Chains A and B, each alone.
Chain A
Amino acid sequence: MQRRLRIAVPYFVMGLAVIVSTGVIFETPRWAIWFLFAVLFVLLEFFAVEVNDRQFQSSSIMVVMTAGVIFAIKSDATFAMALMAAMAMLTPLDLKERRWFQPMANFGQLALSGAVAGFILDANLGLLEGTVGTTDLVRVAVASTLAAAAYVTVNNLLVHRAVRTVYPNDNLHPWSQMHVLLGGQAAMGLLGGLIGAAYLIADRPAILVLFVGVYGIGHMSLYAFSQLRASHLGAIRGFVKTLEAKDMYTRGHTERVAYFAQLIGEELAFTGTQLETVKWAALIHDLGKLAVPTELIRKKGRLDDGEYDEMKSHAHLVEEILAEVDFLQPMVDIASGHHSHYDGNGYGGRGHKEGHTPSLEACIVAVADSFDAMTSARSYRMALSQQYALAELRRHAGGQFHPDVVDAFERALAKTGRRWGARHSNDEEMARRLAEEPELTLRG
């Protein structure tokens, strides 16, 4: 709470100060046009589309830049943009969860971002003194690109700072990757600025309508795309649930492995796409088991050689099942290598090469899978404690497991503060006896 106040109050006061001072210094915009753009801006912020893991494609920056260029040329942009940006302080999630901290902090950081961007536009385009021609388009393009980049950077830095202060334990990697977004956002800003200038040069409202039309259709398609993607993921999750229904002991296993894999990936500073790939790979890693006879999966005690071979086939089967899904091939490679060992032993399908270290992603899924196998109950033994499981991972680091991955996992797990596995740590002797089943890690 105190940490939150330490950010929320200064941010909010800063926002107010920015708006009041710019309001005094700079000219106010024509309110009718400002209002039109502000409504559009808030709407786009509300319907931001998630295009990649946690990265939102928001077209709103384009609208702000269009408005900014128009104001910078006609009057002043600094105050108008600060006020407009601050309108985006509320998100649907804030309303749903009735949060107070995020809107307050966002108000401040957005007002400052908007003011900085507006000031850059004013400094560059103020000289035009109200008129703009086609010869000025290059100047407009440069100014709006710069302004958009400044907007994103200030926004990014302030959010980063707030998150680091309030959630010191949280993983900051998703936010530290915002530079990836910078290029896209700057391009959006450029586009928005050009539209604004084109509107002024041509003095044609029809252009704005047509532009919003084309863009709106694109945005709708992107929205449909994100829905479809969610549905695709949902279908795979559904099938995985079916798989787990076969064995009460592995219920929830896949979702947990995906969660652990994501923790490790974030700790290792994976980008959005890499992170997605690992998560999907973790979700499908046991799909091959759907094709393995149920009594084998549930069997108590040792498997004979034939049964063991059949059990091992599940790593290959995932390849066969998903062979025709092009998109999933990188994930299938990882999944089929999740029983490969760091030192080149183990078994697996395409992703496993005898004597070679499997891919980093496969090592991640292997660690996540083994950890969950140890910390949850099995038909042949009780759940082990987290302490024991981590010790076991460390003991085999460099052999079965990738040492960097084990390190990263320990760090990430410590940051979450959650505990997995048996509450009471078994005494060493007991735990070892329970765990000394040969299939321990193979049956994950």
Chain B
Amino acid sequence: MAEWSPRATAALSWSFPVLALAMGGLSATQAASTPLYMLVASLGLILASMVGVATSDSGNRLTTGIAVASAIPVVFSGGYGVDTAGALACYGFGMAGLWAIRHFSGERHEELLPTMLRRLGGYIAYVMVYSAMRVGVLTDLSGGWEDLIPFFGAVAAWLGVEVVLRALLILGPRELSRAYLARALIQDLNVFVGLALTGALFGELFLALGWWALPIALLPYSFAHAAFKRFQETKVTYKQTIRALARIPEVSGLGVDGHADRTTALATSIAKELGLGPHQVEALEFAGLMHDIGRVSLNEPQILKMGYTDDDIARWSAEIIAESPYLDKVALDVRRQYEPYRKPGQQDDPEISIISRIIKVAAAYDWRVHLEGDTPLSALETLHAGAAYEYDPEVVASLRRLLQTRGILSRPVRV
């Protein structure tokens, strides 16, 4: 998608609530459910969509709205099958309302519009597939195992539409690759599926118990919610700890101020631009932060006497990291990041992981720009010159695209 001007984006964004309301209104006239039910469901969708669920730092913002959206078609069914129009009406009204709340609380159109389109697209796919499969598989919900077939089919369709729209709808400057965006959702699949299942659980319970369903469905969910939260908090803490420990050389005056942080930020951007998965991006962050931790050994009197090379630092860093039982892969990445990406006479050295290659390029760029005072352009040219042997040309090309997007290189660089 080409980049949109802010005005066009705003106009497009404003048409969203109008269209959503129109869809809601038209569907409401065809709905079998009572207006009161539709009102409660729409308000429930809006409120639940404002309650976020702790997800990884993949950029996903999942909310309990997913559970309400998944419950609506299950609740809106009876002897006649599914009240598809009623469900669509709730989605339309709910999303229009949510758009208004988020717009007036100051969210930018470039972010608001894609999110809203993606959500609504997913909901519509879900209810459509659900209704179709209910007609095909069963007409009335008996509460038996077969109830779950249309539900799981519909959730799969929902997820598919989410992933595709996530990759396609990008407004504004684009640093993240489509592949990364699509894969990012998969990382939080457990949260997504947990919410959708909660919605279906509420729906099934509601048909049998009425409003007793609410507390009963909330109980298992609150357990899952707490688990997501603890996991997320630990993840944040873990990263903070690694970052803090990685700064030990700097604190003791043996490191290079800010080098590890800047290298990691740049390397992470490159990885996302190249479309690495969230797990790899995470491993890369750890490796980037700690790639120079071996410098802590630089106050050993013996080392100062004997001298050292950059290769030694990479080795010491890896040795320190390898002391942590769960970080052996990171240690390997750090060990390899000092080596050239291929051996002489070979096309490629498969032993050097993409993570090592990215850190190598990012660290070299940061070193040139921030410590040797090169301009970004000449630093990039140095990397290009080394692309035949030292630096992976694909990574260097990604760095160039990134710098262009950020406006750091005003003109395209020629090799």
Contact = CB atoms under 8 A, between A and B. Distances in A.
Given A294-B299, A326-B237, A207 B201 contact: yes
A294 B190 CA distance: 47
Interface stretch (B11-19, B247-255, B349-357): B247-255
Contact of A214 (B220, B237, B247, B326): B220
A207 B324 contact: no
Nearest to A210: B201
A228 B145 contact: no
Nearest to B331: A238
B322 to A, nearest CB: 8
B234 interface: yes
A206 B145 contact: yes
B292 interface: no
B143 interface: yes
A405 B251 CA distance: 33
Interface string A203-226: 111110111011101111110110
A323 interface: yes
A232 B220 contact: no
7 contacts: A198-B212, A217-B224, A218-B220, A234-B327, A237-B323, A239-B320, A239-B324
Interface in B239-272: 240-245, 247-248, 251-252
A231 B235 CA distance: 10
Contacts of A327: 233, 237, 240-241
A235 B324 CA distance: 5
Give the 7 A-B residue pairs with the shortest CB-CB distance, closest first: A204-B143, A218-B224, A202-B208, A238-B324, A291-B252, A238-B323, A231-B326
Contacts of B248: 239, 287, 290-291, 321
Contacts of A294: 299-301
B303 to A, nearest CB: 9
Contacts of B144: 204-206
Given A230-B326, A321-B245, A322-B244, A206 B204 contact: yes
A251 interface: no
Given A238-B324, A322-B244, 4 more contacts: A206-B147, A213-B193, A224-B231, A235-B326
A390 to B, nearest CB: 33
Contacts of B137: none
Given A134-B209, A206-B143, A219 B227 contact: yes
Interface string B207-226: 11110100110011101111
B205 A198 contact: yes
Interface in A284-307: 287, 290-295
Given A195-B216, A215-B223, A324 B197 contact: no
B20 to A, nearest CB: 29
A263 B249 CA distance: 33
Given A191-B220, A194-B216, A290-B296, A222 B241 contact: no
Contacts of B237: 232, 325-328
B321 interface: yes
Contacts of B215: 194
A229 interface: yes
B296 A214 contact: no
A211 B201 contact: yes
Interface in B266-323: 296, 299-301, 320-323
B325 interface: yes
Interface of A: 134, 137, 191, 194-195, 198, 201-207, 209-211, 213-215, 217-222, 224-225, 228-232, 234-239, 241-242, 246, 287, 290-295, 317, 320-328
Contact of A321 (B224, B244, B323): B244
B83 to A, nearest CB: 19
Interface string B120-152: 000000000000000000000011110110000
A222 B227 contact: yes
Contact of B244 (A215, A220, A325): A325
Interface in B323-340: 323-327
Contacts of B204: 202, 204, 206-207, 210
A137 B212 contact: yes
A112 to B, nearest CB: 28
A320 to B, nearest CB: 6
B197 A235 contact: no
B193 A217 contact: yes
Contact of A232 (B200, B227, B234, B296): B234
A194 B142 CA distance: 20
For A214, A218, A320, which residue has the most chain B Cβ atoms within 10 angstroms? A214
B198 interface: yes
B194 interface: yes
Contact of A194 (B219, B242, B247): B219
A242 B296 contact: yes
B245 A221 contact: no
A138 B299 CA distance: 69
B235 A221 contact: no
Interface string B170-201: 00000000000000000000100110011011
Contacts of A191: 219-220, 223
B108 interface: no
B262 to A, nearest CB: 16
B244 A324 contact: yes
A214 B221 contact: yes
Contacts of A238: 320-325, 327
B190 A217 contact: yes
Nearest to A235: B324
